[in-house]
Structure 1
Amino acid sequence: MTNSTSSSQSTDPSDTSPEASLPRRLSLLQGTALNMIDMVGIGPFVVLPLVIKTIGGPQFLWAWVLGAVVSLIDAFVWAELGAAFPQAGGSYNFLKIAYGERKWGRLMSFLYVWQTMIQAPLVLASGAIGFSQYASYLLPLDDWQRKLVSGGVVLVIIALLYRKIDSIGRIGLVMWGAVLLTLGWIIVGGLTNARIPVGEVVTSMGSVSGGLLAAGLGQASVKTIYCYLGYYNVCHLGGEIRQPARNIPASMFISIVGIAVLYLLMNISVVSVVPWQQAQQSEFIVSTFVETLYGPEAARLATVLVLVVAFSSLFAVLLGYSRVPYAAAADGRFFRIFARLHPTRQFPYVSLLVLGGLGFAFSLLFRLGDVITAILAMRILVQFIGQAVGLLRLRQRRRAGGAAITFPFRMPLYPLPVLLAIGVWAFIFISTGLEFMLSGLLVSALGIVAFLVSAVVQKQWPFER
């Protein structure tokens, strides 16, 4: 079992582990910025009307509240694991360590990397497709032109990430500024020019029935949680974060609270200007909102800012996920070619190019509506529920004296947050619907088959001699 103390202090120059090859140069501010630009992509600007339509009434704000609550509860799990094991790859390492590196941990970590090779490019593609759809507000685009734009965006992202982590941190801060500027403009503009009194808007959302909670709210929350995903991006960059025991948990909680406040204010602001009955029909809700307040020229400027935010999110997404296959390969549990670092710039360039290339291909093949729910359904069982159960296992082994593990961050009221996280993720998984549940299970099943084939060829567990 890996000792967490050594994991969190892997800055010794004599250390020859893969983690020693990744310099710890990202500060708390930079890590938080990369988290937040990952979370705020094109998602909230295209999902807002879908959430209103799914709820079918003014109570849609509760779906955004539930998304924030789910993220906060789950962040306690990520915080304990991220602070204890600050390594590149995030969940890959958490699952491997929690379930045992020699047996079941090999399967769980393999399944996570297997899913990452599929769902990470899908996440990248979803943002790029949303980018091209919003771009059509500025210049009408037909289908092939939208695909050309989405594919081009992915290629530019790859080019920007093909550099040292130092400059990436600085680029991330600039993009973070664009995120705050865009959301700030929407919030201030709507609240200071409300056509519908803000108090009336909030009051109309104040009650939620049991039937709504059981049905529409669950389905709508699938979409809002998609907009919060990314609060754990800092864990994927764990091997490059300064003072990880402090900065990893802090960056996640700051990101979630900050983004939740911005999302809630943005929603209230928008529907105080554009009635929810009209907003649910808008394909470009932010552009419609700004045009209502300031006219078409301002709406075009707002659309440009939305595209900058979407672009910034794709930047953070590919940055974080490119470290996952690298970590697995450096650990000897994935194709060795993914462990290669650029000879002069010290970043996992093979992993970056492969995931980016798949994202480019997927952006040409799929539509936005086809991937948002599938992305979430694919990840819940192995990643979110899997590592929550894994934390319970680690805590139990530590109490039994079977593992030398320290947890620099300890969640309050343990194990209640972990049990809540498991229950809420199970509810969200069911809310994705039968089709997407089956697709998620199918990906996992194919991953198990691939793992067993690999184990037979390499004569490893469960076929070791």
Structure 2
Amino acid sequence: MSSPTRSNGPGAGVLPQPGLERKIGPLQATAMNMTQMCGIGPFVTIPAMVATMGGPQAMFGWIIGAIIALADGLIWAELGAAMPGAGGTYLYLREAFQYRTGRLMPFLFAWSAVLSIPLIMSTGIIGLVQYLGYLVPGVVDENGTTGLGHVIGIGVVVLIVLALFRRIGQISKLTTVLFGVMLFAVLAVIVAAFSHFSGSQAFDFTPGAFSFSGGAFWAGLGAGLIIAIYDYLGYNTTAYLGAEVKKPGKTLPRSIILSILGIMSLYFVMQVGVLGSVPIEQIKSATSVASLVLEQAWGISAAKVFTVFIVIAAVGSVFAGLLGGSRVPFEAARDKLFLPVFARLHPKLHLPTAGVLTMGVITAVGSLFTLTDVINAAVATLVIIQSVAQVAAIVVLRRRQPNLLRPYRQWLYPVPTIIALAGWLYIYYSASRLSMGLSIGWIVIGILAFLVYAKAEHTWPFGPKDVRENFVGGADTNRTEGAQA
């Protein structure tokens, strides 16, 4: 086999992102992350969280999930600040694993992301339809979403995709508005819950719940963390948009860390409020628990008005997720690792048209399945090829590229990295066996697809590795300004 060819230093620099514009400021970046993180998530998963963990002790599941998310977020913060380009994880895996496995890992991530990201977005559509059932008769019934509900869900996906066809500057402003709607909806539910709050009810933990010999908390923790981490996903949205963020060296780490801390606080307070305002058995069976809280506090008319805001918050979450996710196949296609059509930008709006449309279609299809099945499948696929791989990537890059400019370096390294790894492995082990099997099967198919590509392109393992340290020694003004600001 031929020896690797290598390119680095000032000539390599940060790859240009043709057509993409740096228009996303600190406020918009944090708003995008938090809008994507919250959306409909806690409004539909609080009942599942309480049922899974056997009672009010579910509130601590959100805290443990936040610790894992924050530890992982610190990995994203270092990698994103050092390599601020479109595609997020795709770039980090490409830079870290090129020395041994060529382009296999970035290919597998792009392969998996085209499936896992829109699947996560489809859960927002599923939850949105559940809350529409509170407003529109016939959308849901005792068996779940009806045919009418599925049609409405697909229609909402179409509207979101159409809304994405605009310039990034306009999108960032729209996302800020949607963030405001989301924050208003969450705060309304919290205020409503605490207006008739019972502390004795909220903290009436199941007897023996925390016992290490089969307590309800420990028995349900694994499945509960799958739900919690699903609800926290999205703190990395702006990392996918790194090529469109102003001063990413400063903006990306701050937007990631602030969004996790902010959403954790909102989730915990809302969970405690719901537990103290609605009987536990009602929570477990509710399909629109936030609407129930609002109705008990202020009546059915007010509940319907605020439910509209919850639905809009769900739209905002899907909007932000598809926005960031569409940049993954774009970057892979620019590297000639994906179909060329994904590398094309809209001539006027400067957005990756094929990525937006493809992920929109998969989101629509995913919305036809049940919420828990989609969450399990999406999280299992994400963990094995993104989260664990990034843990390895930060370690490899610190060793392989010590001269990489790092405007932000992970606090207390490697402690957060170890915590993140342990958390992700536990979450993957806790997923359903079907989801684990499907995720492994999808990756095996991806490896076979890569081998076909590598054979045609005469690259590793059928040719030399082309080692390009694209971010070492590069002069990216936005990045260095971010480090100095």
Which of the five TM-score ranges fits, normalised by the shorter chain?
Answer: over 0.9
2:420 and 2:124 map into 1 onto residues whose CA distance is 26
Residue 384 of structure 1 corresponds to which residue in structure 2?
Answer: 387
Residue of 123, 127, 151 corresponding to 1:126: 123
Structure 2 counterpart of 1:335, which letter?
L
The answer as to 2:217 corresponding to 1:227 is: no
Q: 1:116 to 1:278 in 2, by over 3 A?
A: same
Structure 1 counterpart of 2:304, which letter?
R
1:145-184 alignment runs, 5 A limit: 145-184=148-187
Structure 2 counterpart of 1:334, which letter?
F
Report the alpha carbon displacement of residue 385 of structure 1 after superposing the two structures with TM: 0.5
The answer as to 2:164 corresponding to 1:185 is: no
Report the alpha carbon displacement of residue 4 of structure 1 after superposing the two structures with TM: 9.6
Report the alpha carbon displacement of residue 202 of structure 1 after superposing the two structures with TM: 4.2
2:386 and 2:188 map into 1 onto residues whose CA distance is 35
Report the alpha carbon displacement of residue 373 of structure 1 after superposing the two structures with TM: 1.1
Residue 355 of structure 1 corresponds to which residue in structure 2?
Answer: 359
Q: 1:41 to 1:83 in 2, by over 3 A?
A: same
Report the alpha carbon displacement of residue 137 of structure 1 after superposing the two structures with TM: 1.1
Residue 79 of structure 1 corresponds to which residue in structure 2?
Answer: 77
Verify the 8 A CA contact 1:135 1:307 in the aligned structure 2. yes
Structure 1 counterpart of 2:118, which letter?
P
Report the alpha carbon displacement of residue 141 of structure 1 after superposing the two structures with TM: 2.3
- SS of 1:461's equivalent in the other structure is coil
Verify the 8 A CA contact 1:178 1:308 in the aligned structure 2. yes
Structure 2 counterpart of 1:42, which letter?
I
The answer as to 2:293 corresponding to 1:289 is: yes
2:434 and 2:9 map into 1 onto residues whose CA distance is 40
Residue 373 of structure 1 corresponds to which residue in structure 2?
Answer: 376
Verify the 8 A CA contact 1:84 1:408 in the aligned structure 2. yes
Structure 2 counterpart of 1:76, which letter?
L
Verify the 8 A CA contact 2:201 2:275 in the aligned structure 1. no
Verify the 8 A CA contact 2:55 2:205 in the aligned structure 1. no
Structure 2: tracts of 5 or more residues without a match:
1-5, 140-145, 465-485
Report the alpha carbon displacement of residue 388 of structure 1 after superposing the two structures with TM: 0.7
Verify the 8 A CA contact 1:111 1:447 in the aligned structure 2. yes
1:174-323 alignment runs, 5 A limit: 174-194=177-197, 196-197=198-199, 201-202=202-203, 204=205, 208-210=210-212, 211-212=214-215, 214-323=218-327
Structure 1: tracts of 5 or more residues without a match:
11-16
Report the alpha carbon displacement of residue 324 of structure 1 after superposing the two structures with TM: 0.5
Residue 469 of structure 2 corresponds to which residue in structure 1?
Answer: none
Aligned residues: 450
Report the alpha carbon displacement of residue 346 of structure 1 after superposing the two structures with TM: 1.1
2:153 and 2:10 map into 1 onto residues whose CA distance is 43
Greater CA drift, 369-378 or 136-145: 136-145
What TM-score comes out, normalization by structure 1 length? 0.92
2:211 and 2:400 map into 1 onto residues whose CA distance is 42
The answer as to 2:115 corresponding to 1:114 is: no
Q: 1:2 to 1:257 in 2, by over 3 A?
A: farther
Structure 2 counterpart of 1:309, which letter?
A
1:294 and 1:411 map into 2 onto residues whose CA distance is 46
Structure 1 counterpart of 2:196, which letter?
N
Report the alpha carbon displacement of residue 193 of structure 1 after superposing the two structures with TM: 2.8
RMSD: 2.1
What TM-score comes out, normalization by structure 2 length? 0.89
2:286 and 2:46 map into 1 onto residues whose CA distance is 9
Q: 1:393-443 deviations in whole A, cap 9, x for unaligned?
A: 1112245xxxx3122111122111111111111011001132222221111
- SS of 1:70's equivalent in the other structure is helix
Greater CA drift, 69-78 or 349-358: 349-358
2:201 and 2:277 map into 1 onto residues whose CA distance is 12
- SS of 1:272's equivalent in the other structure is helix
Residue 14 of structure 1 corresponds to which residue in structure 2?
Answer: none
Verify the 8 A CA contact 1:61 1:205 in the aligned structure 2. no
1:330 and 1:253 map into 2 onto residues whose CA distance is 30
Verify the 8 A CA contact 1:388 1:418 in the aligned structure 2. yes
Report the alpha carbon displacement of residue 464 of structure 1 after superposing the two structures with TM: 2.1
Report the alpha carbon displacement of residue 5 of structure 1 after superposing the two structures with TM: 8.6
Verify the 8 A CA contact 1:52 1:280 in the aligned structure 2. yes
User: Which aligned runs of 4 or more in structure 1 are off by greater than 3 angstroms?
Assistant: 1-7, 202-207, 211-214
Q: 1:129-165 deviations in whole A, cap 9, x for unaligned?
A: 2211221111122521011111001000011000100
2:439 and 2:286 map into 1 onto residues whose CA distance is 30
Verify the 8 A CA contact 2:102 2:460 in the aligned structure 1. no
Residue 89 of structure 1 corresponds to which residue in structure 2?
Answer: 87
Structure 2 counterpart of 1:248, which letter?
L
1:203 and 1:249 map into 2 onto residues whose CA distance is 38
Structure 2 counterpart of 1:238, which letter?
G
1:33 and 1:132 map into 2 onto residues whose CA distance is 24
Report the alpha carbon displacement of residue 229 of structure 1 after superposing the two structures with TM: 0.3
Tell which has more relative contact order, 1 or 2 (C-alpha 8 A, sep 6+): 2
% of aligned pairs identical?
37
Verify the 8 A CA contact 2:77 2:252 in the aligned structure 1. yes
